[in-house]
Amino acid sequence: MPDLLTGGRRAMFAVLVSTGAGQAALAGITAVTMPRLMQADDPGHRWTALGVLLLAALGVGLVRVLERVFAEKLAQDYVHEMRAGLVASSLAGADGPSLGTTIARTTNDLSAIRNWVAWGIAPLAGGIPLIVGVVVVLAVMHPMLALAVLAPVLVLCGGLALLARPAFSRARAVRKARGRLASHVSDTVAAGSSIRAGGGIHRELKKIDQLSTNVGAAAVHRSKVAGYLRGIAAATAAVSTLCVITAGSWAGIDHASIATAITVVGVLAAPTHDLGRVVEYRQSYLAARRILSPALAPGAGAARRRWPRGGSSGTDRGAAPSEVHVSELRIGRVDAPGLIAAPGARVVLRSQDPERVDAVLGFLAGVDGRAKAWVRVAGRDLGDRSPTERRSQVGYAARGLAVERGTIARAVRYRNPDSKRPVWPALRDVGLEERVAALPDRERTKLRRGGEPLSLPELARLQLARALHEEPPLLVLDHIDDQLGADGRALLGRLLADYPGVVVLATDVPATIVPDHQVWDLDAGSAPGRAVLAGFGRR
């Protein structure tokens, strides 16, 4: 979990603490001014004291507004950092969480984090100085008044501590139920076609109804503890006022001082109510943290795990400037042949196990961590390159790959977002120029829900436009021809015929797409130094 009090958040937290101290100071002004109002004989003095009390009351209100604004700023800034980490973790590789789980984490779990910061830490930051300040003010007036307020607050803290454990267990139960529902809804929507074909709509709706009922039951169960927490806090505020009146009467304190003490204690009503919510939000936060902490951990190191860093192996020495060199390839626990490919080489991956092919293609594209190797492209180790440099060296297109939300122009430039080249030549090369020109917003048309309004073959062509954009030295194609159709397959063959870089692809019809090619047989031996020599000289 990222640290809360870093950077600009320290200043926000300091403001929250100062709001509590400010309210305590205004309570002290009230304690000094109230007796003067009640004992003043001169009308001028009475009006002056009344004006000071009104300003103090308005000041308390303004400070509370300031507290609320900075509490929300602190919470949103912290959640923003965590949300970015969660999305980075889910995008780190194929072993990331499901869509439903990611949505649940970035909504329900982050809401728990936000509530704890905004309604837990922030009220504590301002409430503790306020409570301490009010107790000091009352102690100055009379020690019995301070004890009368302190005793109920201590009893409240004890009651909240007793309810903390059941609040935590019930918060976890709600989180789990919501997570199961979100994952099931996501998977059900994704499998909509097969569900309709199998006549299973009624069964799936029945399952979702059951999961939804479980969420409701868990939330109601949790609300009972939440009700006790807030009820105890509300009762404490009323009991504190009663204790002040009783203690003042027993101690023989004059009525003016008792009235002043009641007014001062009234300032504690809001922070006392907040204490009940603090425990509730704290337990929800702890339940969410158990899931978010492991989820955030892989994100920062994903690139390092997938692209080993360090010195290159001896076989990397002397590589040609634009050569692609894969050495020390290991898929799972099995060594596999490497690759030495010159510019213009066309390399077709082959294995009896399709998973091995998928692992190598995914590794070269930087989306799968099942394979490990040293990879040099254009004379440099990919593990030593920044993400920006790496994506400029590798173009990737795959069957069934969804397109992110955004404009068509953004999709084409996605690997090179700072590129100033117009996208129309790339769209023309893949046969999409007329289709995009016919759309109402042309290249500014937004793609939604995985690629609408483009069809699957058109999306495959768009992937090719992205992969070929600015001609990266390594092009990785994973059965993209299956989605292109017959015309698209012929187009792909023409595009690859004169491509200057190395093309590594998996296809069932290599002779149709790349008639002149080499085969990278992943089953051809396990010697670590073994490599396939592919196509020296441009084809």
Same domain for 330 and 257: no
Read off the amino acid at residue 191: A
Same domain for 461 and 363: yes
End position of a domain, from candidates 273, 300, 327 = 300
Same domain for 147 and 276: yes
* Alpha helix positions (H), 307-348: none
Same domain for 508 and 445: yes
**What tokens does 388 get?**
């920006």
**Per-residue model confidence as pLDDT tens digits over 96-128:** 555 545 555 555 567 778 888 887 888 788 878
In a domain, 305, yes or no: no
Crossing angle of helices 122-141 and 269-306, rounded to 10°: 150
CATH number, domain at 436?
Answer: 3.40.50.300
Which residues make beta-bridge pairs with 519?
Answer: 348
CATH number, domain at 208?
Answer: 1.20.1560.10
- Residue ranges of the chain with pLDDT lower than 50? 93-95, 100, 298-321, 527-529, 536-539
Q: Annotate 437-451 with DSSP letters as a single string.
A: HTSTTGGGPEEBTTT
Q: What is the spatial distance between Cα 446 and Cα 405, in angstroms, rounded to a whole number?
A: 7
Same domain for 321 and 296: no
Same domain for 296 and 361: no
- Smallest CA-to-CA distance from 134 within 15, 261, 274, 276 is with 261
In a domain, 539, yes or no: no
Q: Which residue has the tokens 């700023």?
A: 73
**Residue 404 belongs to what H/E stretch?**
none
In a domain, 160, yes or no: yes
In a domain, 18, yes or no: yes
**Per-residue model confidence as pLDDT tens digits over 484-498:** 888 888 888 888 888
Total number of domains constituting the chain: 2
Same domain for 521 and 405: yes
**Residue 86 belongs to what H/E stretch?**
helix 43-90
Task: Give the pLDDT score at 175.
Answer: 77
Q: What is the spatial distance between Cα 233 and Cα 142, in angstroms, rounded to a whole number?
A: 25
Same domain for 85 and 54: yes
Same domain for 378 and 519: yes
In a domain, 308, yes or no: no
In a domain, 307, yes or no: no
Same domain for 119 and 96: yes
Same domain for 208 and 353: no
End position of a domain, from candidates 257, 273, 300 = 300
Buried b (16+ CB within 10 A) or exposed e, 46-69: eeebeebbeebeebbeebeebbbe
Crossing angle of helices 143-190 and 255-266, rounded to 10°: 20
Same domain for 141 and 93: yes
Which residues make beta-bridge pairs with 375?
Answer: 326
End position of a domain, from candidates 260, 277, 300 = 300
**Residue 258 belongs to what H/E stretch?**
helix 255-266
**What tokens does 365 get?**
């594209």
Q: What is the spatial distance between Cα 253 and Cα 160, in angstroms, rounded to a whole number?
A: 32
Q: CB under 8 Å to 85, separation ≥6 — which residues?
A: 2, 296, 299, 300
In a domain, 277, yes or no: yes
Is the four-CA dihedral 405, 410, 414, 418 of positive or negative sign? negative
In a domain, 503, yes or no: yes
C-alpha pair distances (Å), 462 with each of 153, 334, 409:
65, 35, 10
Domain, as residue range, for 418: 314-534
